[in-house]
């Protein structure tokens, strides 16, 4: 792939060892690139491995996780670094806005102090300068800096999410990972937060990896999309291609099942069944039990990611004939 990529994830595999149940394969062969200034969307249903992918990249998983594969950040493989060196990358280069901002802030610590802690922990500047920086960061995300002296419970949901974003930006990272940043927010507040992310990206020129299950958010925000299903990449390509010329049956169904305000339909397409349990993964394609166009081969053989267009990849046996 092009050398310009900021983050290159290659064949990332993550398993969780579960007593008595063997291993849950949460991620299998995940590969994608993040370029500077780009917004990449990781989309999929609950349990498809979106959050695990983020946590694997940042190496923030519990002890029963086994990660293999490579994650190159500016040419350095993060997976081989000793923990001590990895800490230099976290937050300074790779920052994350955790899911559920409601609960991710410390309830008994003033918001400004929590942000300052992130700065002083990484020894970026003396405490007094950090104080000024906290004010700047709060203003950057649209919170009056006096409110830094307040506690999280005095904030509304949208403001807490903004405070989380300010904290993530504390060390001027190159990549911002945002895990479901707008889930549980109202549409209007969601629009405000998305606008803020867009605005920050343009001002600071950082790359954003956006994890979400909301296809609408992806369509509004992202340049590139990775559609995940059952821990694997189902489809990967530019946002326009994914939405207007999807090749994987899962992507197609997912798009059809999303109610569109502009073209209300009589019946919404639905995908019967549920995503596979990660401890009982089907031998063939992971989507086969729910697929409306599956063939015999899908039951036994897992489809490889096929190149179906320029920078457009999809994993489906049916696409072999189209090539």
Site string for another protein, 182-211 (x = CB under 8 A): ----xxxxxxx--x----------------
Q: Which of residues 18-47 bind another protein (CB under 8 A)?
A: 45-46
* Closest separation in Å from C-beta 230 to another protein: 12
Give me the half-sphere count of Cα atoms (radius 13 Å) on the Cβ side of residue 106.
12
* Closest separation in Å from C-beta 62 to another protein: 22
* Closest separation in Å from C-beta 42 to another protein: 14
Q: Which of residues 241-270 bind another protein (CB under 8 A)?
A: 243-244, 253-255, 257-262, 264-265, 267-270
**Between residues 132 and 268, which has the closer beta carbon with respect to another protein?**
268
**Between residues 121 and 258, which has the closer beta carbon with respect to another protein?**
258
Q: Which one of residues 68, 106, 154, 274 is an interface residue with another protein (CB under 8 A)?
A: 274
Site string for another protein, 209-238 (x = CB under 8 A): ----xxxxxxxx-x----------------
Q: Give me the residues that bind another protein (CB under 8 A), please.
A: 45-46, 156-158, 186-192, 195, 213-220, 222, 239-240, 243-244, 253-255, 257-262, 264-265, 267-272, 274
């Amino acid at each position: 792939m092009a050398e310009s990529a900021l983050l290159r994830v290659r064949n990332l595999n993550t398993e969780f060892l579960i007593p008595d149940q063997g291993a849950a394969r949460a991620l299998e062969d995940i590969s994608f690139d993040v370029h500077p200034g780009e917004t990449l969307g990781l989309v999929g249903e609950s349990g498809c491995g979106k959050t695990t992918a983020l946590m694997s990249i940042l190496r923030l998983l519990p002890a029963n996780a086994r990660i293999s594969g490579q994650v190159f950040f500016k040419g350095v493989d993060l997976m081989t670094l000793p923990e001590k060196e990895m800490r230099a990358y976290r937050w300074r280069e790779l920052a994350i806005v955790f899911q559920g901002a409601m609960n991710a802030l410390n309830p008994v610590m003033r918001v400004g102090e929590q942000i300052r802690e992130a700065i002083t922990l990484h020894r970026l500047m003396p405490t007094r300068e950090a104080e000024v920086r906290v004010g700047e960061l709060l203003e950057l995300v649209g919170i009056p800096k006096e409110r830094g002296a307040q506690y999280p419970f005095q904030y509304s949901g949208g403001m807490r999410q903004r405070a989380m974003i300010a904290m993530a930006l504390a060390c001027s990272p190159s990549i911002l990972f945002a895990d479901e940043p707008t889930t549980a927010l109202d549409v209007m507040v969601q629009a405000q937060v998305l606008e803020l992310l867009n605005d920050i990206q343009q001002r600071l020129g950082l790359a954003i990896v956006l994890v979400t299950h909301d296809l609408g958010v992806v369509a509004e925000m992202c340049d590139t999309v990775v559609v995940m299903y059952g821990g694997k990449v189902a489809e990967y390509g530019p946002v326009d291609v994914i939405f207007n010329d999807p090749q994987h049956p899962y992507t197609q169904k997912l798009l059809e099942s999303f109610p569109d305000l502009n073209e209300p339909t009589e019946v919404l397409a639905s995908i019967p069944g549920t995503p596979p349990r990660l401890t009982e993964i089907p031998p063939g394609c992971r989507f086969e039990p729910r697929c409306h166009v599956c063939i015999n081969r899908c039951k036994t053989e897992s489809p490889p990611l096929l190149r179906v267009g320029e920078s457009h990849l999809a994993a489906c046996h049916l696409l072999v004939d189209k090539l």
